[in-house]
Amino acid sequence: MSRITSLAGRALAAAVVLAATFPAKADQFVNVLTGGTSGVYYPLGVALSNIYGKVPGVKASVQATKASVENLNLLQQGRGEIGFTLGDSLSQAWEGHEEVGFKTKLDKLRAVAAIYPNYIQIVAAADSGIKSLADLKGKRISVGAPKSGTELNARAVFAAAGMSYKDFSRVEYLAFAESVDLMKNRQIDATLQSAGLGVASIRDLSNSVPIVVVPIPPEVIAKIGDAAYLPATIPANTYGGQTADVSTAAVQNYLVTHSDVSEQTGYDLTKALFDNLDQMTAAHVAAKVIKLDAAAATAPVPLHPGAARFYREKGVLK
């Protein structure tokens, strides 16, 4: 055996020993929990998954869900690494409100970022005669998937307006796209959808049939008694045929993870989000309002340590 061959053999042996001593770092799997495919969470979640898939050592996937309540329960169970949720659902999960879908206090939840507000958008067929919340009495309505964030918003708004589901002639518990299909087919009169402005389902509806966007007055919002609900405006021409501003309620959305996600992974996920906001905005216009200086705003649950480290580095968290 030549000296060169011998040296090569020893080098190979040394490499094998090093590989055994320092095994390759396992991939970090990141499952992004979103919502129905016709809402805003889903396209933003797909964009987020694409962003995370470019982080070294991360393998990312995206999962369509029933949104807030399901996402929070899945995160508590460790069946996802990051998910979208409404702020009121998040506070109810942290407190453990069984009646809205949280059997126990979800104590593993940790905030990553406050992102954009959901607007509670009540849309009626123009020929239904519905122009106000009171006009909805005796009508047929879809209020979102059962115990979804949208459906919880519907219960809160109608209760504040002195109404309940018993006031409607028919109540459907359907996701956005299915609700729109029923409206197109004249099977229901109105749909309540809690989503970012310009949500695809309502744009589709307004391009197919004449609609009316029903206002939620500020005095009704005040009666909800939850700080998560704020007065807001749906600007004119957000949807086809909507020629004037419409008052409504808005609820802050959050990205949330859980305490079993490592500090480094939480840091990487937060940094990747803010390094690539242009990709989020390209996925949906709702992401235009995601701002670094507002992302660490007070959430109903503690900040994840990795997210907190990122915000401290950026000077937006003391």
Domains and CATH numbers, the chain: 28-116+253-313 (3.40.190.10), 118-251 (3.40.190.10)
Are 251 and 283 in contact by the 8 Å Cβ rule? The answer is: no
> Strands, DSSP E only, in 41-135?
58-63, 82-86, 109-125
pLDDT, residue 160, reads: 98
Contact 307, 268 (CB under 8 A): no
Q: Are 203 and 240 in contact (CB under 8 A)?
A: yes
For the stretch 189-205, pLDDT in tens is: 999 999 999 999 999 99
Phi, psi of 156 (to 5 degrees): -65, -45
Q: Per-residue pLDDT for the chain (318 aa), expressed as one digit of tens each?
A: 554 445 445 544 444 444 444 444 568 999 999 998 989 999 999 999 999 999 999 999 999 999 999 999 999 999 999 999 999 999 999 999 998 899 999 999 999 999 999 999 999 999 999 999 999 999 999 999 888 889 999 999 999 999 999 999 999 999 999 999 999 999 999 999 999 999 999 999 999 999 999 999 999 999 998 888 999 999 999 999 999 999 999 999 999 999 999 999 999 999 999 999 999 999 999 999 999 999 998 899 999 999 999 999 999 998
User: Whose CA is closest to 280, among 297, 292, 293, 262?
Assistant: 292
Distance (Å, rounded) from C-alpha 17 to C-alpha 242? 69
**The pTM is what?**
0.83
Distance CA(117)–CA(8), nearest Å, equals: 62
Distances in whole angstroms, Cα of residue 160 to Cα of each of 110, 234, 297, 309 = 30, 20, 27, 40
* Helix (H), strand (E), coil (C) string for 281-293: HHHCHHHHHCCHH
Task: Report the distance separating Cα 64 and Cα 251, nearest Å.
Answer: 21
Structure-token match 């929990």, residue found: 33
Q: How far apart are the first and last CA of the chain?
A: 65
What phi, psi does 190 have (nearest 5°)? -155, 160
Three-class SS of residue 299?
coil
* C-alpha to C-alpha distance for 94 and 302, rounded to whole angstroms: 10
Q: What is the pLDDT of residue 55?
A: 95
Which letter does DSSP use for residue 139 in this model? S
Instruction: Give the pLDDT score at 158.
Output: 98
Tokens 């309620």 map to which residue?
Answer: 249
